[in-house]
Amino acid sequence: MAIPSPIRSELLRRRAEIVPYGHPDAGIELVQSFGALDLEYAALRTNAVLIDQPQRATIEITGSDRIDFLDRMLTQQLKPLAEKPLGTRNSFWLNRQGRIVADLRVLELGDRAQFDVDVHAAQTVIQTLSDYIFTEDVQLRDQTRTGHRLALIGPTSAMLLEQAVESVQTGEHPATMEIGNVSIATIAGASVVIDRQTRLGVDEFAMLARADDAERVYLKLLELGMPEQLDAIGDEQAAFNSDGSPADTIRLRPAGWHAFNTVRIEAGVPMFYLDFGPDSLPAETGVFEDRVSLTKGCYLGQEIVARMHSLGHPKKVLVALRCEDGAADQPVSGAPIMDMQGAEVGAVTSSSPSPLLGGSILCFAMVKWGIHEPGTVVSISTDSEPISATVQQPLRCVEP
């Protein structure tokens, strides 16, 4: 599966710390940080960051029956995309037992659709969806090797796109289009599919370019968005310099997974393969309302989803925990969670200190039903000693 990032050499030149994503043999690598995590986090919150995303795959769906077919397969209502293309939906693809095969973002581009999906799920999605194509005019193609994804995130991201976009091929200008819309624009002479989101509480533009164009787009955005002094590689004090240019207002920084991970936990954004996975039911994920329509027609796994929603509840559910102030150790993924009687009731799935909450440690955790109630106090095992944590409601612990 090894798919090295087409901008890997540029990332290393900028002293990126690169780590494996998933099993090391898979050959997928992420930038952990560029050595200035606090500055990357601050830039994401107050200015803008540019993040390489080789862990995201792209599947293209073509054919005149694509929307009707996907609407019958996926958990979200997709038919409105046929009437108003250049839009997006978040959805699950389930198996017959109602378990999650993949967590998808569906983009309809007018003449084709795309899935933005975890790279480790791409082949399974293609194989399992293809099993249900009979006479429909639908074709699925893996474009992960020919396309590459970047993310531009932060309050000044739209300002950067105002300068970087040379022309708009399809849709509205990405800097002014509504949340949940898609456009195809030209940056550095390359065609880029741009999808606007706000799941982190700040502007987020997911961008897909041809792999051969990715480095050119990456460098153009840095050229326009970074003050000259900020591009002094390895100079952390450069963040406080000023040169009076438009880039001085945008103040873009290259950033890595670590800063993104902190913000997405603060913002209540769980991730497939980290916080829930192929054994999970939609009702267990904490994002049921965003991914599942309860008013659409049948889809694979719908009977299980509907029965659980109307008659009961899952045995476990994802929650956010805030650890006691002054906790010595950050809980690791898989750390056992105990109730106040000492019984094991769940496990940590992700964790991070929250700068906006004074360094308090936040966790996502999959816990037994009943433990999920806001205000419930639990104990988390760590390498030194157990720490106390309180269930939060909702998953988002930091308001935008």
Q: For residue range 119-154, what is the model confidence (pLDDT) as tens digits?
A: 999 999 999 999 999 999 999 999 999 999 999 999
3-state secondary structure of 214: helix
**Domain covering 315-400, topology:** Elongation Factor Tu (Ef-tu); domain 3 (2.40.30)
pLDDT of residue 237 exceeding 70, the answer is no
Upper half-sphere CA count for residue 291 (Cβ side, 13 Å): 25
Two structure tokens written together for 193 = 């599919």
Q: Does 240 have pLDDT greater than 70?
A: no
For tokens 């040379």, name the residue.
166
pLDDT (0 to 100) of residue 384: 86
Q: What's the pLDDT band for 17 if we cut at 50, 70, 90?
A: very high
Helices (H), 229-384: 246-250, 257-266, 288-291, 302-311
Q: Give the rounded distance of the alpha carbon of 363 from its chain centre.
A: 17
Quote the pLDDT of residue 133.
Answer: 98
Helix (H, G, I), strand (E, B) or coil at 113: strand
pLDDT digit string, tens, across residues 146-195: 999 999 999 999 999 999 999 999 999 999 999 999 999 999 999 999 99
Instruction: Give yes or no for a contact between 160 and 224, defined as CB atoms under 8 angstroms apart.
Output: yes
pLDDT at 231: 58
- Chain length of the chain: 400
**Identical fold, 1-314 and 315-400:** no
What DSSP state is assigned to residue 19?
E
Average pLDDT over the chain reads 94
Residues 38 and 29: beta-carbon distance below 8 Å: no
Query: Before 20, cis peptide (omega within 30)?
Result: no
Indicate whether 238 pLDDT > 60. Answer: no
pLDDT for residue 400: 78
pLDDT for the residue 11: 97
Whole-number Å distance between alpha carbons of 269 and 394? 11
At residue 239, the pLDDT reads: 47
pLDDT band at 230 (very low <50, low <70, confident <90, very high): low
Q: What is the DSSP code string of 131-195? A: TT-SSS--EEEE-TTTEEEEEEESTTHHHHHHHHEEEEEESS-TTTSPTTBEEEEEETTEEEEEE
Phi, then psi, of 90 in degrees rounded to 5: -95, 140
241 pLDDT above the threshold of 60: no
Residues 50-71, mean pLDDT to the nearest whole number: 98
Q: Can you give the residue ranges of every domain in the chain?
A: 1-314, 315-400
CB of 17 closer than 8 Å to CB of 32: yes
Judged against a pLDDT cut of 90, whether residue 26 lies above it is answered with no
Least confident of 24-28, 50-54, 213-217, 357-361: 24-28
Amino acid 234: pLDDT: 47
Residue 73 has pLDDT above 90, yes or no: yes
Beta strand 252-255 with 48-52 is: parallel
Segment 310-327 shows an average pLDDT of: 91
Tokens found for residue 262: 């902190």
> Which of 3.30.420.110, 3.30.1360.120, 2.40.110.20, 1.10.287.130 would CATH assign to domain 1-314?
3.30.1360.120
pLDDT at 243: 62
Strand partners, 183: 194
SS3 category, 357: helix
pLDDT more than 90, % of the chain = 86
Mean of the pLDDT values across residues 291-304?
Answer: 94
* pLDDT of 236 higher than 50: no
pLDDT band at 89 (very low <50, low <70, confident <90, very high): very high
Q: Measured between alpha carbons, how far is 351 from 317 in angstroms, rounded to an integer?
A: 16
pLDDT digits (tens, 9 = 90+) for 353-394: 999 999 999 999 999 999 999 999 999 999 888 999 999 989
Pull the structure tokens for residue 297.
């027609």
